[in-house]
Chain A
């Protein structure tokens, strides 16, 4: 009975102190699942080397993270949002409406996106054109727009083996999907010249609207089961490839490097993906990773600024740091980023 009493009173005290003023003493981070491994490595090292508690890093996706980030200022909102894409105008507006006006944008480095298949299967050397032709819903043939007729890779490109087309691409809630559409499918669409045909056929009030419609026609993926959207994580894509040896999946570079015993990577436009080839810009499919800091929380949440500075420090995010070792392509302009953080420079100018 006394135990029940003790716990109930403890609960009551805890609840009261929480609603009154719970001084939160650890940094709270949420957002992109691509940035999560990097953020957790930094958080762990931060907890070890500083007198602050280890920051808490939640996942959930870039959009979900930024939404929570923009909910307002205060201790029960997160301090940092991780994102595998730039914050959108729309999101900045929502932020401003809720009083989150000063946002510090920090670019931590680049992440490569690779195409990988079963280790014992055929080897592929892709170009964006191949992927466009294999996965687009509609193609232009003899000047006419037709539904994608291809079922085998050797029909797409005579150099490829006769293997059924089966691709596992990230679902639309992933930031990775956007990069895949922009840098692979759309690039292929433009390279084949199909884009011009779509543009000519597009209807719209302005050139801009027409262009948008043409892009949309380009990146629409086929829905007949040859391309499967994976809404889960890369582990799910890997499991699909293990059960269907013909499958080819889209992965992050870091994930591939941890699973080289099960996967082989395909080249893109003749370049083997690696941190080096992405850093030089040779490998075409990569995207910057960001995190966003609420300036109003600096000085209120202990350790927030130290965490941000530690994240972009040379010993962490530099080319020899643990993040690069894990698969992050370090940013050649890291020094500028460090200045942004130490000077607390917010987005859109100002101080």
Chain B
């Protein structure tokens, strides 16, 4: 009799070959894990860079001032006639700012050697425009003293965010040490503070001199109208084309050529569509420059192949037995497609469309050529026609434009813009995944 081996130990003795195969498997698993780890690491680096650099754009420095709206400056005739008051340009509002700042410094008991002009220079150039718009909306406020919260200029904002320090501004003629002393005193006084800046999400682009006032809102509307055009054109055309190709078209060399061409188009660099758009839509059809309609048309061309390919794939995945059953009980070919195949393929089609839209949303290159980059997104549109036809930018084009500008404050806004764009892309992709999870059927 042989001894019983202790429990737990296996009787199986691995030979050298098996051990080798097992080691190879373990190694392969490790490679896979390493690949995923590298990918995750890159993602973490990317996200932390974007978030650490971009979150600053969502906060902005404001200063609270009580502005005396002097009748002598704003309405010399004293008759509250809107036409006369409009003649006072934003430059005419500068003395009010100076007066308000002097008042503030005196009231808070801050000692400073600065002249009122240098004090007012701490404010954003946007402040005068804010004030003027306020007065024009209701001329009866002239003569009163009203409390405002104004943006400060980008240097002061950079000081609060740590971008500008007393060492780094040694050669900067836009700000000096005495001004920073005043800023410190105002912070201590509680009237100068950093807070959440909704205007960055909803506002319009601003010129190079006032990065603190620039916002993404109008470019976002531009992107929205472009996506509307893409959706309204690419979805019906793409779905109709794929249904015909998949269900009705005869299989011959012509359809083969079409299929190869569609796959090819999907791989064409997007800038090519931009050049095409410039030549066809603007130079030949005379559609307006920089219009979201043209941007949408160009992006439609770009998105169509993606939608056709994904629609055909989801039509193909519907089992033939469903078609056969429908035909068997007497449905026509068209009825079988529209009553049975299309509803079953719909989740896949929608997923493909959303992914195509997300891709189009992030596209910059074709927009460069049709004039959507520059100082464009400055007027919010006032209706559907104006939204489609009036010059506008798009989110990625706005980010590109900001990254080019000289003031480092714009660089921060470019990163902030990336955060907004990413939020949109993640939301769209999450919806696509959700739709697929909930409605997709497997056979």
Contacts and interface: CB of A to CB of B under 8 A. Distances in A.
Interface string B399-424: 00001111110010000000000000
A326 to B, nearest CB: 5
B164 A37 contact: no
Contacts of B173: 257, 260
B171 A43 contact: no
Contacts of B388: 10-11, 14
Given A18-B293, A260-B169, A326-B208, A39 B375 contact: yes
Given A14-B293, A44-B206, A76-B289, A36 B89 contact: no
B89 A56 contact: no
B169 A261 contact: yes
Interface stretch (A24-32, A95-103, A190-198): A24-32
Contacts of B287: 15, 18-19, 76
A293 B134 CA distance: 34
Contact of B91 (A14, A254, A315): A315
A258 B407 contact: yes
Contacts of B207: 37, 40-41, 43-45
A4 B236 CA distance: 10
Given A76-B282, A76-B286, A326-B208, A43 B125 contact: no
A28 B286 CA distance: 15
Contacts of A24: 288
Q: Chain B: interface secondary structure?
A: loop
A40 B286 contact: no
A59 B374 contact: yes
Contacts of B169: 260-261
Nearest to A315: B91
Given A44-B378, A56-B376, A58-B374, A11 B408 contact: no
Contacts of B285: 19
B430 to A, nearest CB: 22
Interface residues of A, number: 55
A329 interface: no
A234 B406 contact: yes
Interface residues of B, number: 56
A165 to B, nearest CB: 25
Interface centre among A4, A8, A30, A54, by most chain B C-beta atoms within 10 angstroms, is A54
Given A41-B209, A45-B90, A258-B407, A57 B376 contact: yes
Given A18-B288, A45-B90, A76-B289, A235 B403 contact: yes
A235 B407 CA distance: 10
A17 interface: yes
A62 to B, nearest CB: 14
A42 B91 CA distance: 13
Interface string B271-287: 00000000000100111
B132 A59 contact: no
Contacts of B90: 45, 48-49
A261 B172 CA distance: 7
B232 interface: yes
A36 B286 contact: no
Contacts of A255: 406
A233 B410 CA distance: 14
B60 interface: no
Interface in B377-392: 378-379, 384-385, 388-391
A7 interface: yes
A22 interface: yes
Contacts of B290: 28, 56, 58
Interface string B236-274: 100000000000000000000000000000000000000
A26 B173 CA distance: 35
Nearest to B163: A261
Interface string B55-82: 0000000000000000000000000000
B378 A48 contact: no
A76 B288 contact: yes
Contacts of A233: 404
A43 B289 contact: no
Contacts of A22: 288, 389
A11 B227 CA distance: 13
A322 interface: yes
Contact of B174 (A43, A257, A322): A257
Nearest to A54: B378
A11 B297 CA distance: 11
A203 interface: no
A233 B133 CA distance: 35
Nearest to B404: A233
Contacts of B125: 322
A288 interface: no
17 contacts: A14-B385, A18-B389, A19-B286, A22-B389, A37-B207, A37-B208, A45-B90, A47-B379, A54-B379, A58-B373, A59-B374, A234-B406, A235-B406, A252-B406, A258-B407, A260-B169, A260-B170
What 10 A-B pairs are tightest by C-beta distance, nearest first?
A261-B168, A40-B375, A58-B374, A37-B208, A260-B171, A40-B207, A54-B378, A44-B207, A57-B375, A258-B406
Interface of A: 4, 7-8, 10-11, 13-15, 17-19, 22, 24, 26, 28, 30, 33, 36-37, 39-41, 43-45, 47-49, 51, 53-54, 56-60, 75-76, 78, 233-235, 252, 254-255, 257-261, 264, 315, 322, 325-326
